[in-house]
Each structure stands twice: as structure tokens, then as C-alpha cells.
Structure 1
Amino acid sequence: MTETMTNPADATALPDDALVWCEIPVSDLDAAIAYYSAVLGNPLERNDEGPNPVAMLPVKSPMDGVAGHLYPGKPAGDGTGVTVHLHVPVLEAALERAMEAGGRVLPGIIPIPSGRFAYTIDPDGNSIGLFEYSKG
């Protein structure tokens, strides 16, 4: 099968979103559900209907936005690997909840044009960015 490369300058060939799904491996799904529910300020629910148990990350409309889930797996455990950034309405409050729930917050809030973020390490050692969009 031959794949045709498109010109990056051709915006019609670009997808709407670079990220379409994320999966975060956790060693204890129920403990991770409690942690992420606390950090994100929205409940996650365990779903055992598929071939493997999962917990969906809360979004308004999973069919229209980028979503993902937690799943029983083998986390990197050392903060290396891919970093997933999750939306939070107020960054400082989410960072405080991450520490209270047993995560680590790495020093520094990083501003960028579309918002600001900080890096955290969840209890399984996954690198998770918490991102707050700019207001206005």
C-alpha cells in the first residue's frame, strides 16, 4: 500500500485534531478512578461492558470532542513516556487537588498563547499535563 504525502501548507489535508484518543495505563483502575475524579473535579465511572474494564475521561460530548480512558495496564512508572494534557477549568485548583490525591506536581506553570499548563505525575508514574485555556 502506498501512502501519498500531502503538502503541509495545504490546510485542507490537515485533520481537525491531531489527537483523537488517549489511553492512560494504570495499575489499579479503581484507585485511578478516585484520583482522576478528584483532580479533574468530575466523576469517572468504571465500565466493565467491553473486553477490558475502562473508565472514560469526562467530556461534554465524546462523539464531538477528543476523549480517552483509563485502563488496567503497565504504566511507565517513572514519568517518562508520552505526556497527555487534560483540560481543567482552574489550573491552580487542579494542581492542589492532584497533590491532595497523591500525585506530584512538577515546578513551574508554563504560559503559552492558548493558555497555560503544568506537569504532574499521577500515582502510577504517568506524566500528565493539566491545561487551562486562556480566558477571553
Structure 2
Amino acid sequence: MSDTVTNALVWCEIPVTDLNKGVKFYSAVFNTKLEPTEFDGGEIAFFPHEGDTDSSGHIYVGKPAEKGTGGTIHLNAPDNLEATVARAFDAGGEIVGEPVTIPSGRFQYMLDPDGNSIGIFELAA
């Protein structure tokens, strides 16, 4: 392999109780299309990514942590924070708190319909 991975984070996995509902939710929130695919004897749905060294992840049928108690995965807002948060709410997510500004951008916490803690991140202009 000639590519070198330089990011500390290389992959994330988000458990959902129903893959089709998870695909519908995450596709709507992030303006993309997650496609269920067979993998290792089960079905998962990958977030879009380019190349073998991009950080990305997938959703799979599993047991989410108790509502809001698991680790938080931050995902990139495809357009802007407000629009992505609005889509999350409309798709059945729960918005947690107000946007937080940090030197590299802004983010806001939400819970997906299974209670997974998700941060929606917008890079600073």
C-alpha cells in the first residue's frame, strides 16, 4: 500500500436498530445517499468517501448506547450548520443545546432517532 494515513481517526461505526430507517435519516440529514450493502454476513451502509485514506464510516444494525450516553461522532455539514441541523430535526433527530464556536469552526450536538450522540460540524470560512 503506497498511501499513508495521517489522521488519528480513520473510521467510525454508528449502531442503529433498523438499517433502512438509519439510511433514510442519515441520507436526509447529510444530503447524500447511503446504500445498504452486504458485508461480512450482514448489511451495513457506508457514508460516501473518496479513496482508501479518507476518514469515513458506516451504520450497522447493532445496540446503541443508552440515549445520549455513548461517544459522540462529529460529521461534516454538507452545506451549513443551520440547514443541516434543521434537516436532522425534520428527519426525527433531537437537537441538544446551542451551536458551539471553536477556532476551526462551529458544531451542534444532536441525537439520532436511536439516541446516538452526533455532532454536526461546519468548518470556519
TM-score computed with the length of structure 2 as normaliser: 0.91
| % same residue | 47
Give the match for residue 46 of structure 1: 36
Give CA deviations for 1:26-77 in whole Å, capped at 9, x if unaligned.
0000000000000001111100243221000122x04131010000000013
Matched, 1:96 2:80: no
**In the TM superposition, what are the counterparts of 1:1-136 in structure 2 within 5 Å?**
16-59=6-49, 61-88=50-77, 89-135=79-125
Partners in 1 of 2:13 and 2:39 — Cα distance? 17
Task: Tell me by how many angstroms 1:17 deviates.
Answer: 1.0
Q: Hey, which bits of structure 1, 4+ residues long, moved more than 2 A?
A: none
For the pair shown, the structure with the greater C-alpha radius of gyration is 1
SS at match of 1:84: strand
Residue ranges of structure 2 left out of the alignment (5+ in a row): none
Number of residue pairs matched by the alignment? 120
Distance 1:28 1:131, change over 3 A: same
Partners in 1 of 2:72 and 2:87 — Cα distance? 19
Residue ranges of structure 1 left out of the alignment (5+ in a row): 1-14
Please report the RMSD computed on the Cα atoms of aligned residues, expressed in angstroms: 1.2
Task: Tell me by how many angstroms 1:128 deviates.
Answer: 0.4
SS at match of 1:74: coil
Partners in 1 of 2:51 and 2:23 — Cα distance? 18
Higher strand share: 2
